[in-house]
């Protein structure tokens, strides 16, 4: 089966950088994705890592180390609108997503 | 804009009274998913359709059923809602359901059971 661990909540100030970690245990690994979900809203795709290394998309970057079963999401130049829950998720062999419990990010002025 | 639409956004039902939640998509994706998300928890996959092929998760209660009459529409039927079924229900789509494919989520229907 699959299990994922990420911190339940993180607080940071506007303009700062924050890193949200995710460790996973899977019977087979097919990639790690990150989704953002604002309160009451739909999850939206942020990034996917299938191979080791860093993927950068604007202010957001995602990193994967398959040997450590570890990834992180890095958010730079934090804005108030970045306050949301962030979910890491792994794919199983059937292409289905298994989500972590989510990290609630609070950005303070 | 191509999108995933869920109606209604909020649904109130009574304990034991059947309820149907709707999802439609204009993306023309082959795969449609239904997730249940309880407060401060991860979305949990209930079932998905690959085209007309229905795939149920092993731990999805029999109380939950689904229908997909055509490519665009998918319905979630809860035959006898219990208090524990109060949650956000999310519909999502993907092109082929393959590994690394992005899933596109609708805004969700929040179900309240009285």
Output the pLDDT for position A2. Answer: 77
Asked if B42 and A96 come within 8 Å (Cβ–Cβ), the reply is no
Q: In terms of CA atoms, which chain A residue is nearest residue B88? A: A40
DSSP chain A: --EEE--SEEEEETT--EEEEEEEE-SS---EEEEEE-TTS--EEEEEESSSEEEEETTEEEEEETTTTEEEEEE-S--GGG-EEEEEEEE-TTS-EEE---EEEEEE-
Assigned token pair, B5 = 């639409």
Residues with Cβ within 8 Å of A96's Cβ and at least 6 positions away in sequence, in order, are: B45, B48, B97
Give the C-alpha separation, A95 to A12, whole Å. 34
Give the C-alpha separation, B4 to B52, whole Å. 18
Asked if B103 and A97 come within 8 Å (Cβ–Cβ), the reply is yes
Q: Are A2 and A25 in contact (CB under 8 A)?
A: yes
Question: Could you give the angle at the alpha carbon of A84 between the alpha carbons of A81 and A90, nearest 5°?
Answer: 130
Q: In terms of CA atoms, which chain B residue is nearest residue A6? A: B42
Asked if A102 and B106 come within 8 Å (Cβ–Cβ), the reply is no
Assigned token pair, B103 = 């899933």
Output the pLDDT for position A31. Answer: 92
Can you tell me whether residue B27 is helix, strand or coil?
Answer: coil
Residues with Cβ within 8 Å of B82's Cβ and at least 6 positions away in sequence, in order, are: B15, B16, B63, B113
Span B43-72, average pLDDT: 94
Output the pLDDT for position A54. Answer: 96
Give the C-alpha separation, A16 to A76, whole Å. 6
Pick from A39-43, A90-94, B55-59: least confident? A90-94
Confidence tier at B97 by pLDDT (50, 70, 90): confident
Give the C-alpha separation, B87 to B67, whole Å. 20
Confidence tier at B2 by pLDDT (50, 70, 90): low
The pLDDT tens digits of the residues spanning A20-75 come to 999 999 888 889 999 999 998 899 999 999 999 999 989 999 999 999 999 999 99
Output the pLDDT for position A96. Answer: 87
Give the C-alpha separation, B61 to B79, whole Å. 11
Can you tell me whether residue B66 is helix, strand or coil?
Answer: strand
Q: How far is A1 from chain B (nearest CA, A)?
A: 13
Span A82-101, average pLDDT: 92
Span B40-51, average pLDDT: 93
Asked whether the predicted pLDDT for residue B1 surpasses 80, the reply is no
Confidence tier at B98 by pLDDT (50, 70, 90): confident
Output the pLDDT for position B7. Answer: 87
Between A2 and A70, residue with greater pLDDT? A70
| Chain B residues with beta carbon closer than 8 angstroms to that of A96 | 45, 48, 97
Asked whether the predicted pLDDT for residue A89 surpasses 80, the reply is yes
| Chain B residues with beta carbon closer than 8 angstroms to that of A45 | 102-104
């Amino acid at each position: 089966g699959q299990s994922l661990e990420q911190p339940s909540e993180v607080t940071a100030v506007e303009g700062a950088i924050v890193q949200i970690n995710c460790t996973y245990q899977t019977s087979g690994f097919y990639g790690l994705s990150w989704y953002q979900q604002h309160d009451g809203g739909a999850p939206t795709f942020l990034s996917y890592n299938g191979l080791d290394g860093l993927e950068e998309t604007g202010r957001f970057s995602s990193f994967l180390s398959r040997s450590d079963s570890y990834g992180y999401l890095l958010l730079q130049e934090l804005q108030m609108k970045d306050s949301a829950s962030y979910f890491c998720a792994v794919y199983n062999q059937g292409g289905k997503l298994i989500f972590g419990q989510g990290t609630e990010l609070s950005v303070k002025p | 804009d191509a999108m995933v639409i869920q109606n209604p956004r909020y649904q109130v039902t009574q304990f034991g009274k059947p309820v149907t939640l709707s999802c439609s998509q204009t993306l023309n994706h082959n795969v449609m998913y239904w997730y249940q998300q309880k407060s401060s928890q991860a979305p949990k996959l209930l079932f998905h359709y690959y085209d007309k092929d229905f795939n149920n998760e092993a731990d999805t209660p029999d109380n939950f059923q689904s229908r997909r009459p055509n490519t665009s529409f998918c319905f979630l039927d809860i035959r006898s809602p219990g208090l524990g079924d109060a949650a956000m229900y999310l519909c999502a789509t993907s092109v082929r359901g393959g590994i690394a494919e992005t899933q596109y989520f609708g805004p969700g229907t929040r179900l309240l059971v009285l």
